[in-house]
Each structure stands twice: as C-alpha cells, then as structure tokens.
Amino acid sequence: MAFWHSKQEERELMDQLIRQNPGIRPAELARLLGVHRATVLRRLPSMEEAGYLYSEDERGGLYPFKRIR
C-alpha cells in the first residue's frame, strides 16, 4: 500500500487540476497545490495505484486518461 493511499481528498484535487489544465507541468501543479515539485512527482505513482492515469508529453506535461476505478 502506498503511503499516500488514504489521502483521497488530495488525490481528487490533484486529479481535478490536471483535468482542468491538460498539459500542466508538475512545477505548475505544485504551485497551484502549494507544495514542492518533488511532492507532486512522488504522488504520481500512488495516484496510478489508486486508478488515476495520466500520460506525459515530451515536455513533461500531464494529460488525463479515463479513470479505471
């Protein structure tokens, strides 16, 4: 189980921001969330474990896939 597994509100907020801003880079996402960029990068694998899937373009922008769970 990932450390961030029980933080549903944070996952939902992060997912909402990515969906509202397709192509958002981790640094901008971190600024909007009020956390460090490293925090966003650490959260992405646990987001995937929770069923939130994103693709990344060559510049690092995040795009949502349809949620599987």
Question: What are 18-27's pLDDT values in tens digits?
Answer: 999 999 999 9
Average pLDDT of the chain? 86
- At 62, list the tokens: 């995040």
The β-bridge partners of 62 are 24, 56
Tell me the mean pLDDT in the region 33-62: 92
Contact 69, 50 (CB under 8 A): yes
Does residue 69 carry a pLDDT above 80? Answer: no
Residues spanned by the domain of 37:
8-51
Q: What is the mean pLDDT of residues 31-44?
A: 93
Residue 33 within any structural domain of the chain:
yes
Q: How far is CA 47 from CA 6, 9, in A?
A: 11, 12
Q: Is the dihedral of CA 40, 41, 42, 48 positive or negative?
A: positive
In-domain check, residue 18: yes
Domain annotation covers residue 16? yes
Number of domains observed in the structure of the chain:
1
- The reply to whether 22 falls in a domain is yes
pLDDT at res. 5: 46
Asked if residue 27 is part of any domain, the answer here is yes
